[in-house]
């Protein structure tokens, strides 16, 4: 069913990770993903797998939900792994047609999969433990310096919040309209591609109409509460504060970065990125 | 009694099985509906009414249990569920949000066209649908988006009636309409039921409407079927309904309260007219 999509899903909770400052979570996630890309050896990857598992454990969300988030990426992962396998230099193990597969290639392919998996898992940790409101709030606060360049950071953040907020609503609405049209005998599953595309019209038109109606209602409701964009002197209902949790998480990330680099002698000697 | 037109057995629907959000929306419900009946469905918000009716026309597959239309299992392998949906017409809540065509006529024709009928038959069905819902012929070529809320609702209902369903299910068809519009729509439904000999299921929060039209009333609470009996019997159990957060028609409540205060020979009534008649009978017509 449509509502099974986990896009941007948030699982309410009170774990260590849930209670961190959203700004810290966003920054540390970026730092962590960079670390993932620095790993070059089997030992480093094994270490990172353990570290990632630890973080996932700290969120107290069932592993099942993390694995479900990986499913749509299976194809991309398989594809990248294959490309890496075929286009890596090294002693060929065997060759066929114009391709040669080397031990390094296979290793690179596996590394690639592990890297993508961990990257997605890390991002899932962020979105699963941070409500959309906190997420965009945190982003807004982090982008604050851009306001000096006259970038309307607040408005972008508000648009993002609204967009995220309405994803489930629109999905629900889509399902409702689909059911209503099915009740009138609409058929979305059979026929040629053109026919199926045409069958979407009875869903798309009501969906657009209701999206515009909702947008207008929301705008009026916001204006009724005197919403006026980012006027000077606007105060916040929730002030974010860094706590010992965020410090601990920062130390953890630094430690992970350090150990990863230490397990990477080649990178240290030749320099990053060579 | 004759064979039931729609029968369900141990119908159960569980949402999100195996997740922390697991919820049993409908719990082992069984009943039979017969041709030409008018059934009212009442229940608190979230009592499983909407889930139940979506299982009746094969839109939603039950987690367990069986739905029989004319004694045929609708989830049997070769069963044609698109035909079933024409036979069991379902009007959703706020059905006006499903309109999409350029003209009223085309929108009403959507259902009949999906049934694969001939053009003449479709034209006839559109005519019929508009007649039953009291839409004037002038609206035929208008865009449904230009109509008033009440008219849009009629167009949407006409779109279902045009399929000539044997069982017509309406999920709060009068929500958000003014009293006059409510009465008109319900009497339209009544006309359709009489002329086609159809079975009608009306989900409503208005006890007055249910009391005025239903032959039998179904009461749902937390996914369980609490009562299914003729209207008078169900509303006679006012205390139980009130305990479920439901209500009885106002006049019924007045009489129940008077009865509790000691006027024991008052009968259970369903409408003001009935109340006047029973009072006349008791007082011998003296004013």
| CA-wise closest residue to B104 among B162, B156, B41 | B156
> What percent of chain B is predicted at pLDDT more than 70?
98
Higher pLDDT, residue A165 or B112: B112
Most B-contacting residue of A183, A200, A213 (CB-CB within 10 A), to test interface: A183
Given this model, what pLDDT does residue A272 score? 46
Q: Is the pLDDT of residue B202 over 90?
A: yes
Mean pLDDT of A267-271: 48
In angstroms, the CA A64 to CA A69 distance is: 9
Residue of A nearest to B113 (CA): A185
Residue B74: which pLDDT band, with cuts at 50, 70 and 90?
Answer: very high
Confidence band (pLDDT; 50, 70, 90) for B285?
low
ipTM: 0.87
Q: Tokens standing for B268?
A: 């259970």
**For strand B216-221 and strand B64-69, is the pairing parallel, antiparallel, or unpaired?**
unpaired
Across the interface, of B97, B145, B163, the residue whose CB is closest to A185 is: B163
Angle at B42 between CA B39 and CA B44, to 5 degrees: 165
Question: Would you state the structure tokens that stand for residue A67, as one six-digit string?
Answer: 């694995």
Average pLDDT over residues A40-59: 91
pLDDT tens-place string over residues B176-194: 888 888 999 999 999 999 9
Q: How far is CA A104 from CA A77, A91, A111, B237, in A?
A: 18, 8, 10, 79
Binding-site residues on chain B for chain A (CB distance < 8 A) = 54, 57, 59, 82, 85-86, 89-90, 92, 95, 97-100, 110-111, 114-115, 145, 159-160, 163
Kindly report the CATH number that applies to the domain delimited by B6-231. Answer: 3.40.50.300
Task: Report the alpha-carbon distance of residue B93 to residue A177 in Å, rounded.
Answer: 11
**Residue A67 pLDDT:** 87
Contact B82 A201 (CB under 8 A): no
In this structure, what token pair is assigned to residue B256?
């129940």
Which residues does chain A have within 8 Å of residue B89's beta carbon, measured at their own beta carbons?
183
Q: Are residues A93 and A182 in the same domain?
A: no
CA atoms within 13 A on the CB side of B94: 7
pLDDT, residue B38, reads 95
Residues of chain A positioned with their CB less than 8 A from the CB of B82? 185, 187
Q: Is the pLDDT of residue A2 over 50?
A: no
Residue A202 makes CB contacts below 8 A (sequence gap 6+) with A177, A181, A186, B98, B100, B110
In the block, residue with structure tokens 């409701």: A221
Residues A190 and A242 in one domain: no
Question: According to the model, what pLDDT value does residue A266 have?
Answer: 58
Mean pLDDT of B205-230: 92
DSSP B142: S
- Determine phi and psi for B110, rounding to 5 degrees: -55, -50
Average pLDDT of span B261-272: 84
What percentage of chain A has pLDDT greater than the value 90? 36
Stretch among A170-179, A183-192, A252-261, B80-89 having the lowest mean pLDDT: A183-192
Average pLDDT over residues B29-45: 93
Note whether A18 and A91 are same-domain residues. yes
With CB atoms and an 8 Å threshold, state whether A185 touches B59: no
Residues A213 and A268 in one domain: no
User: How confident is the model over B142-179, as pLDDT tens digits?
Assistant: 999 999 989 999 999 999 999 999 999 999 999 888 88
Torsion of CA B80, B86, B89, B90, to 10 degrees: 60
d(CA B216, CA B233): 9
Token match 């029968």: residue? B7
- Per-residue pLDDT tens for B97-139? 999 999 999 999 999 999 999 999 999 999 999 999 999 999 9
- Average per-residue pLDDT in chain B? 90
Q: Are residues A162 and A86 in the same domain?
A: no
pLDDT above 80 for B208: yes
Full-model pTM: 0.76
Are A1 and A95 in a shared domain? yes
Question: B217: exposed, middle or buried (C-beta count within 10 Å: 0-12, 13-18, 19+)?
Answer: buried
Q: Are A7 and A96 members of one domain? A: yes
Query: Are A17 and A140 members of one domain?
Result: yes
CB B59 within 8 A of CB A180: no
Three-state SS string over chain A comes to CHHHCCCCCCCCCCCCCCCCCHHHHHHHHHHHHHHHHHCCCHHHHHHHHHHHHHHHHHHCCCHHHHHHHHHHHHHHHHHHHHHHHHCCCCCEEEEECCEEEEHHHHHHHHHHHHHHHHHHHHHHHHHHHCCHHHHHHHHHHHCHHHHHHCCCHHHHHHHHHHHHHHHHHHHHHHHHHHHHHHHCCCCCCCCCHHHHHHHCHHHHHHHHHHHHHHHHHHHHHHHHCCCCCCCCCCCCCCCCCCCHHHHHHHHHHHHHHHHHHHCCHHHHHHCCCC
Query: How many structural domains comprise chain A?
Result: 2
Q: State mean pLDDT over B34-40.
A: 94
Domain co-membership, A220 together with A243: no
Say whether both A38 and A116 belong to one domain.
Answer: yes
Residue B191, classed as helix, strand or coil, is helix
Which residues form the domain of A144? Answer: 1-151+238-274
Mean pLDDT, rounded, for B71-86: 90
A135 and A29 part of one domain: yes
Range B15-28 average pLDDT: 83
- Chain segment A222-234, per-residue pLDDT in tens: 999 988 877 777 7
Mean pLDDT of B30-54: 93
Chain B nearest CA to A39, separation (Å): 35
Judge if A116 and A84 occupy the same domain. yes
Contacts of B169 in chain A (CB under 8 A): none
B110:A184 CB<8 A: yes
């Amino acid at each position: 069913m449509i509502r099974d999509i986990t896009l941007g899903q948030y699982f309410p909770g009170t774990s260590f990770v849930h209670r961190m400052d959203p700004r810290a979570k966003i920054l540390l996630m970026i730092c962590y993903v960079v670390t993932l890309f620095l790993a070059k050896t089997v030992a480093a990857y094994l270490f990172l797998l353990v570290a990632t598992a630890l973080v996932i454990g700290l969120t107290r969300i069932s592993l099942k939900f993390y694995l479900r988030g990986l499913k749509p990426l299976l194809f991309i992962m398989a594809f990248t792994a294959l490309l890496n396998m075929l286009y890596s230099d090294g002693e060929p193990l065997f060759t066929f047609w114009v391709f040669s597969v080397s031990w390094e290639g296979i290793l690179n392919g596996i590394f690639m999969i592990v890297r993508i998996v961990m990257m997605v898992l890390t991002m899932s940790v962020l979105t699963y433990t941070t409500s959309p409101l906190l997420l965009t709030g945190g982003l807004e606060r982090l982008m604050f310096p851009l306001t000096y360049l006259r970038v309307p950071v607040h408005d972008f953040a508000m648009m993002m919040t609204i967009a995220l907020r309405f994803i489930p609503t629109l999905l629900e609405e889509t399902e409702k309209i689909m059911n209503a049209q099915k009740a009138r005998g609409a058929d979305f599953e059979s026929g040629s591609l053109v026919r199926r595309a045409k069958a979407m019209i009875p869903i798309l038109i009501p969906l657009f109409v209701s999206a515009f109606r909702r947008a207008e209602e929301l705008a009026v409701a916001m204006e009724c509460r005197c919403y006026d964009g980012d006027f000077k002197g606007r105060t916040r209902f929730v002030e974010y504060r860094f706590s010992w949790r965020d410090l601990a998480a920062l130390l953890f990330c630094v430690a992970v970065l350090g150990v990863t680099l230490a397990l990477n002698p080649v990178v240290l000697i030749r320099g990053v990125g060579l | 009694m004759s064979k039931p037109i729609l029968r369900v057995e141990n119908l159960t629907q569980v949402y999100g099985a195996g997740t922390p959000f697991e919820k049993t929306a409908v719990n082992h419900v069984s009943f039979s509906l017969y041709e030409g009946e008018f059934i009212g469905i009442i229940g608190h918000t979230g009592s499983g009414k909407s889930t139940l009716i979506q299982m009746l026309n094969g839109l939603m597959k039950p987690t367990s249990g069986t739905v029989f239309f004319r004694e045929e299992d609708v989830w049997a392998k070769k069963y044609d569920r698109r035909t079933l949906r024409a036979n069991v017409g379902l009007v959703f809540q706020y059905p006006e949000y499903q309109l999409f065509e350029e003209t009223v006529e085309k929108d009403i024709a959507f259902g009949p066209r999906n049934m694969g009928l001939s053009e003449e038959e479709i034209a006839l069905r559109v005519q019929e649908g508009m007649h039953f819902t009291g839409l004037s012929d002038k609206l035929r070529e208008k865009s449904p988006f230009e109509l008033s809320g009440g008219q849009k609702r009629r167009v949407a209902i006409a779109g279902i009636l045009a399929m000539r369903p044997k069982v017509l299910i309406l999920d709060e068809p009068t929500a958000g309409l003014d009293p006059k519009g409510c009465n008109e729509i319900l009497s339209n439904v009544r006309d359709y039921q009489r002329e086609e000999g159809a079975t009608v299921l009306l989900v409503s929060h208005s006890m007055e409407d249910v009391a005025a039209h239903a032959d039998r009333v179904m009461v749902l609470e937390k996914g369980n079927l609490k009562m299914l009996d003729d209207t008078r019997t169900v509303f006679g159990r006012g205390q139980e309904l009130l305990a479920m957060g439901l209500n009885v028609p106002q006049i019924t409540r007045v009489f129940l309260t008077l009865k509790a205060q000691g006027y024991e020979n008052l009968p259970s009534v369903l409408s003001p007219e009935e109340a006047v008649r029973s009072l006349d009978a008791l007082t011998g017509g003296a004013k």
